[in-house]
């Protein structure tokens, strides 16, 4: 298992660039180890995160509700290299999601 990616580079990428303004408040944004399997949760590709995998988790308050947004390791890798490939790998991950949901 596993792709290797730079955790800080991943965090430096803003997954919601240009998509702010709904009054959400970011509580935390960090790379964590999955304590259990999270099925079909990736915000980018819709994929699953397996127990023990390092992945990015953002905790935000939206309309008074606490919401955790997760990104699978493959998408974290795409985010981490987005400064080098102009976001092409990232875009490909987004397209994966679109294709899965016609």
Q: How far is the CB of 70 from Zn ion (least distance, A)?
A: 9
Binding string to Zn ion for residues 35 to 74, with x set by CB under 5 A, is what?
-------x-xx-x------------------------x--
Closest to 52 (Cα-Cα) out of 82, 32, 75: 32
What's the helix, strand, coil split of the chain in %, to 5? 30, 25, 40
Q: Would you say 43 or 64 has its CB closer to Zn ion?
A: 43
Residues that contact Zn ion, how many (by CB under 5 A): 6
- Residue 47: CB minimum distance to Zn ion, A: 4
Alpha-carbon torsion, ordered 85, 102, 37, 20, to 10 deg: 60
- According to CB under 5 A, which residues from 1 to 40 bind Zn ion? none
By the criterion CB under 5 A, which residues form the site for Zn ion? Answer: 42, 44-45, 47, 72, 75
């Amino acid at each position: 298992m596993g792709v290797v990616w730079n955790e800080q580079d991943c965090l430096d990428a803003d997954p919601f660039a240009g998509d702010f303004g709904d009054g959400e408040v970011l509580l935390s944004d960090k790379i964590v180890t999955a304590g259990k399997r999270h099925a079909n949760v990736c915000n980018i590709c819709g994929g699953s995160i397996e127990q023990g995998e390092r992945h990015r988790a953002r905790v935000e308050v939206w309309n008074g509700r606490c919401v955790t947004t997760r990104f699978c390791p493959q998408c974290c890798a795409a985010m981490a290299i987005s400064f080098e490939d102009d976001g092409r790998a990232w875009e490909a991950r987004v397209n994966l999601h679109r294709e899965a949901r016609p």
